[in-house]
Chains A and B, each alone.
Chain A
Amino acid sequence: MSIRVAVAMLAALGIAFMLSVLVPWSDLAALYGEDPALAWAIAVELRLPRAGLALIYGAMLGAAGAAVQALFANPLASPDLTGTTSGAALGAVVTAYILGFSAPIALSLGSIAGALGSLLLLLALAGRKAETATLLLAGLAISALAGALTTLALALAPSPFAFYDAYDWLMGSLVDRSLVQMAFAGIPAAFVLILLLRLVRPLDSLALGEEVSQSLGHDLLSVRRQVVCLTAIGVGACVAICGAIGFVGLVAPIFARRLTHGHPGRAILPAALIGALLLTAADIAVRLAPLGRTLPIGVVTALLGAPFFLWLVAHMRWRMAS
């Protein structure tokens, strides 16, 4: 990734972030005329967390997706397709509705535990260098299991409103979160991103295959452990606040590797930037859509991401056939 591309992406992200705080502009401007303090409060306490969470969660999904794809040497590995986000959601639901802990820290920890569990299960099921089919089947099985257990947990929950409560969150939503919640996702995500960037070189060397990477002196066992734990912590912390948002973690690294000439490790940082940009843009699109009510953002990313995924699968088939 050249400096120029990096600057352009940062600029685009900055503009998207500003737009995300200010759009829709007319309400905010009208309110500012009447009561500047209230307008300021809306911008800072309602819109800033939403814009910030889109940025943080998008960046985390992009970076985690790039790291997981590099680790499994497979462009279809991503936090959602491998069941990590569903595992995290299950962890949070069990913590909140079955165990009855609703403090933010408990939700985060439950979510991280769920994400870690599903990633370890994936490693056990699919093996270390998974064929695409095995990886996707294992991911599908884990997602289905986590989804079913989530529904079961909600059905068994003492609260009769559990389903209704959890629905918006499960679909992925950035609305009505506080600055404190933003910090609960943002602080772990920032740490995880920095620590993932330390793994750029060993993950790049995995492009030569596991054997060569080891022969070059990289400690793959440690790299694998770190990627799994860091991804679980980063994605888990975000899912605890915003629910499961799909496809960003799949799409962002694929674009990012175009900027790094195919280097899987070096793609982590650009994937974070692209992921942040994608989720922020999707959130602005949600607000501007003339539907009269707010769509969960997870629905939008899935509507846009699923066709891209289908295209990717078809593209891989054509390439194999040719």
Chain B
Amino acid sequence: MRALLEARGLSLPHRLFDATLAIAPGELVCLVGPNGSGKTSLLHALAGIGEADGEVRIDGVDPRRLGPARRPHVLTYLPASRDLAWPLLARDLIALGGGGELPASLELDGLLDRRVDRLSTGERSRAMIARALAPRPKLLLMDEPTANLDPLWQIRLMELVRAELASGDRAALVAIHDLDAAARYADRILVMHEGRIAAEGLDGDHIADIFGIERLDGIWQPVRQPAGPRSSP
């Protein structure tokens, strides 16, 4: 099948090594990995933040060559940080990102005319998510979109992202720490480790190796150290 995103040999000094991936139209791909494993660096390399080596093509075009008029319709990026330096209105925040149609399910009506510094962190997150969704980009890059959201909003957000992709010509790459949410919503999961895409899918063995956790009695727990000289009685 034709890929929407094709990236080859993406590298950023000390952070990202030779990442190659393809995403098909309509696909929701989740990116998981421990802190410092390179999830954000990969999103940055794809979004044209910093000078990454390697090739990126979205529908055959290198998005990093596109200027501010076209770029938001090809890709948008939601950063993990919810800090903003200036007290803009939520409406203006969204307009600065390229504007567009706001998803009704984000329930922004009461927020748009309020200043972002007077919103709660969760409300600010929703405004920033709206900023990334509104231009209807072909590729949506999101770093921890569910952070700061309450449990109900976490579910609604992931379902909103799924619904956005339903048209079948758009795709999303979402970095997320919640492995259960990744398993539930993703079409495919990429596991990052030490700056490389180390595996695909949530196989119990490489989760234990990479994350140091395992599922016991239905909940995630630290992997118990194998019995060695120090732990023997």
Residues of A within 8 A of B (CB): 73-74, 201-202, 204-209, 211-212, 214-218, 257, 261-264
A sample of 11 cross-chain residue pairs with beta-carbon separation below 8 angstroms, ordered by A number, consists of A211-B79, A215-B141, A216-B72, A217-B67, A217-B69, A218-B68, A261-B89, A261-B92, A262-B86, A263-B92, A264-B86
| A286–B13 CA distance with the chains assembled, in angstroms | 57
In the complex, which of the residues A73, A204, A212 has the most CB atoms of chain B within 10 Å of its own CB atom?
A: A212
- Count residues on chain B whose CB falls below 8 Å from chain A CBs: 32
Q: Are A208 and B93 in contact (CB under 8 A)?
A: yes
Main secondary structure of the interface of B (DSSP, over half): loop
Q: How far is the CB of A220 from chain B (nearest CB, A)?
A: 9
Give a binary string over B55-97; 1 marks a CB under 8 Å from any A CB, 0 the rest: 0000000000011111110011101010111111100110011
Contact assessment for B68 and A205 in the assembled complex, using a CB-CB cutoff below 8 Å: yes
Q: Is B212 an interface residue (CB 8 A)?
A: no
CB distance from A73 to the nearest CB of B (A): 4
Question: Is residue B155 contacting chain A, with contact meaning CB distance below 8 A?
Answer: no
- Verify if B49 is at the interface (C-beta below 8 Å from A): yes
Encoded as 1 (CB less than 8 Å from any A CB) or 0, chain B from 37 to 56 comes to: 00000001001111000000
A-B Cβ contacts below 8 A, count:
76
Given contacts A215-B47, A261-B88, contact A209 B83 (CB under 8 A): yes
Residue among A74, A205, A216, A261 facing the most chain B CB atoms (10 A cut-off): A216
Chain B residues contacting A257 (CB-CB under 8 Å) are 86
Interface residues of B (CB under 8 A from A): 44, 47-50, 66-72, 75-77, 79, 81, 83-89, 92-93, 96-98, 115, 131, 141
The residue from A201, A208, A217 contacting B131, defined by CB atoms under 8 A apart: A208
Q: Which residues of A contact B97 (CB under 8 A)?
A: 208, 212, 216
> Pick the contact of A211 from B77, B86, B89, B131 — CB < 8 Å?
B77
Q: Which residues of chain B come closer than 8 Å to A208, judged between CB atoms?
A: 84, 93, 96-97, 131
Shortest beta-carbon distance, A162 to chain B, in Å? Answer: 43
Residues of B contacting A206 with CB < 8 Å?
85
Taking a contact as CB atoms closer than 8 A, the residue among A74, A202, A215 that contacts B76 in the complex is: A215
- The list of the 9 closest CB pairs from A to B, nearest first, reads A217-B71, A73-B85, A215-B77, A215-B47, A217-B68, A214-B49, A262-B88, A262-B86, A207-B86
User: Do A207 and B85 touch across chains, with their CB atoms under 8 A apart?
Assistant: yes
Contact, CB under 8 Å: A207 / B84: yes
| A261 to B87 Cα, complex, angstroms | 8
CA of A262 to CA of B93 in the docked complex: distance in angstroms?
10
**Chain A positions within 8 Å of B44 at CB level:** 211
Chain B nearest Cβ from A59, distance in angstroms: 22
In the complex, A263 Cα to B88 Cα: how many Å?
7
Q: Which residue of B lies closest to A73 (CB)?
A: B85
